[in-house]
Amino acid sequence: MTKLFIALQYVLPQHLLSRLVGFLARTEWSILKNFLIEQFIRSFKVNMTECDRTEPTEFQHFNDFFTRSLKDGARVIPEDATVCFSPVDGAISQIGTTENGRVVQAKGQDYALADLLADDELAARLQGGAFTTLYLSPKDYHRIHMPFDGTLTKMIHVPGALFSVNTATADAVPGLFARNERVVCVFDTEHGEVAMVLVGAMIVASISTAWHGEVTPVRGIQRWDYKDPTPVRLKRGDELGRFALGSTVVMCTEPGKLEWDDERDSGDDVRLGMPLGRWS
């Protein structure tokens, strides 16, 4: 079944399917949207007790439910600013350092950092630095938060495929995260440059950032430069963005700036605020 699932992704109209799902996810017809939300909660065992709205009828549409906010205190951000914490709820797909300009995707699979970032100069500056790939499953909280204080310097939207980003697909599809649609957010921090890459996936209806809103796909690569007099500054714990249906975040740093905790490994479940390592 896994091989069939992978094979189908190569032939299915990925973007058409995602647009159709996006249409359903935005419908405000109460009968349909309540049914979709109820079935999703039941199928994926979503923990609604930690959400600030707990009933399907309280959400405007499915996307409103999917990008739901949490109750105050549901996640705790470490007070120690030297702690690098998980920016999302999810699981660690990979964690380590980039080597020879390559990022590990899965056992026996890697891809070029420059391809992921769509910026050769940025990739050169981040080569040899720490990286982690965090997978958000359907049941997870789908907002991404800042694990550091940072000033946004640029954002790059890279159009691409929409393969699933689950473990089976990551194991089988070469260069998965560097070929899927993605939004690269680059921050200037006290720890040097840090790139936060929001990767789209099959039936991901949209990727949004806190400062831009929904990033609308076009045919080519889009680039935005953020400079004074109105810089975008975000604090640790601030919301960075959100996925309307599923996906993955890849974080990349400059070399020598971040050391991962020894006990963190591929496959570990994480929650927003959980310590992953320390900034040097």
Q: HSE of 162 in the Cβ direction (CA atoms, 13 Å)?
A: 21
8 Å CB contact between 147 and 84: yes
In angstroms, rounded to a whole number, what is the distance separating the alpha carbons of residues 170 and 166? 6
In angstroms, rounded to a whole number, what is the distance separating the alpha carbons of residues 204 and 183? 13
Selected catalytic residue, list 18, 61, 86, 89: 89
119 is catalytic: no
Selected catalytic residue, list 61, 145, 157, 212: 145
DSSP 203: T
89 is catalytic: yes
User: How is residue 207 written in tokens?
Assistant: 């990727």
145 is catalytic: yes
Nearest CA to 181 out of 210, 217, 153 is that of 217
Tell me which H or E stretch contains 113.
helix 113-117
| CA distances in angstroms from 105 to 23, 54, 131, 173, 200, listed in the order given | 31, 36, 11, 10, 15
In angstroms, rounded to a whole number, what is the distance separating the alpha carbons of residues 255 and 160? 28
Exposed, middle or buried: residue 109 (CB in 10 Å: 0-12, 13-18, 19+)? middle
Exposed, middle or buried: residue 188 (CB in 10 Å: 0-12, 13-18, 19+)? middle
- Which residues participate in catalysis according to the annotation? 89, 145, 247
